[in-house]
Amino acid sequence: MKALSGLSYFELMRHDITFPLYVEVDEICNLACPASPIHYQSDPVQTTKTSVHGAINMPGLARRVKAKIFQASASEVYGDPHIHPQTESYRGNVSCIGLRSCYDEGKRCAETLFFDYHRQHGLNIKVARIFNTYGPHMHPDDGRVVSNFIIQALRGDPVTIYGDGSQTRSFCYVDDLTEAFIRFMDSPDDFTGPVNLGNPREFTILELAEKIIRLTGSCSEIVFSSLPSDDPKQRQPDIRLAKEKLGWEPEIPLEEGLRRTIKYFDALLAKNKTGLKN
């Protein structure tokens, strides 16, 4: 943010996209909606509104100013998937009444709106399905697995695995993902997506915990608690489409990304200990 605030053409606005927004812009990236289960489940009605009303107001804005618009969709549109790895043609296995539904169905409906705006109004859309992503500058209270485990390990607190740790995720380092965003926005207009963006290397949550304990040199123990409902058992993106259309694949292996993220949180915790705010 500091790097941008000095630029004369940069303006920061705080706005809730469930309400209309009238601004003049060239391109729009809609990343609105908390992605961490504890955050999006704390106000589930607002979560659905953010995805659904946001996917009317932002395409409405894009339509008026004739802007290209990026939509951050998610691997959650696949729910607890029955096919593995997940390809873009898979239609998913999502509960419409569970704890995760506000996020999952919100993202699904947002995709519907984007594709209808595309077909009905010729809107130039770019829909990406983002898989688990991590890296420096995550909020320490984010609540997702990578930042939770790193902070717990650095503090020497127990590392909390939900369930038995056999569920899997595939983690993408943030720099790899932003590179894909940029390539996608610059790709030909007829490539609308949806396209999976993520790192196809899959790990169990237990493997992740052990890796983080080792890389931090921590003496934390691992504790197991109950698995939240509808927690997907496995997740791995099939990224052949992104490779073919964007010439992209992730470059940062999990260990390297974790080292960089651990370094960030280590410095942050040290700063907070000396009484400075982050």
Q: Which one, 215 or 227, has the nearer CB to ligand UDP?
A: 227
Beta bridge partners of 162: 225
Q: Which one, 21 or 185, has the nearer CB to ligand UDP?
A: 21
Question: Does the annotation count 103 as an active-site position?
Answer: yes
- Which residues contact ligand UDP by CB under 6 A? 20-22, 37, 56-57, 60-61, 63-64, 132, 144-145, 148, 160-162, 167, 169, 205, 227-228, 231
Q: Name the minimum Å distance from CB 160 to ligand UDP.
A: 4
Output the six-digit token pair for 172.
Answer: 């993408």
Q: Name the minimum Å distance from CB 143 to ligand UDP.
A: 6
Q: Name the minimum Å distance from CB 167 to ligand UDP.
A: 4
Whole-angstrom Cα distance, residue 271 to residue 203? 31
One-letter identity of residue 243:
K
Q: Name the minimum Å distance from CB 154 to ligand UDP.
A: 14
What count of residues does the chain have? 278
Q: Which one, 132 or 236, has the nearer CB to ligand UDP?
A: 132
Asked whether 213 and 193 are in contact (CB, 8 A), the reply is no
Residue with CB nearest ligand UDP?
60
Whole-angstrom Cα distance, residue 127 to residue 4? 25
The catalytically annotated residue of 9, 40, 78, 103 is 103
Q: Which one, 192 or 236, has the nearer CB to ligand UDP?
A: 236
Q: Which one, 125 or 246, has the nearer CB to ligand UDP?
A: 125
Q: Which element (helix H / strand E) includes 269? A: helix 254-273
User: How far is CA 150 from its chain centroid?
Assistant: 18
Provide the greatest CA pair distance for the chain: 58
Q: Name the minimum Å distance from CB 3 to ligand UDP.
A: 28
HSE, CB side, 13 Å, CA atoms: give it for residue 54.
Answer: 27
| Beta strands 168-170 and 202-204, pairing class | antiparallel
Question: Under 8 Å CB-to-CB from 179, ≥6 apart: which residues?
Answer: 248
Asked whether 214 and 146 are in contact (CB, 8 A), the reply is no
Output the six-digit token pair for 278.
Answer: 């982050």
Active site residues: 103
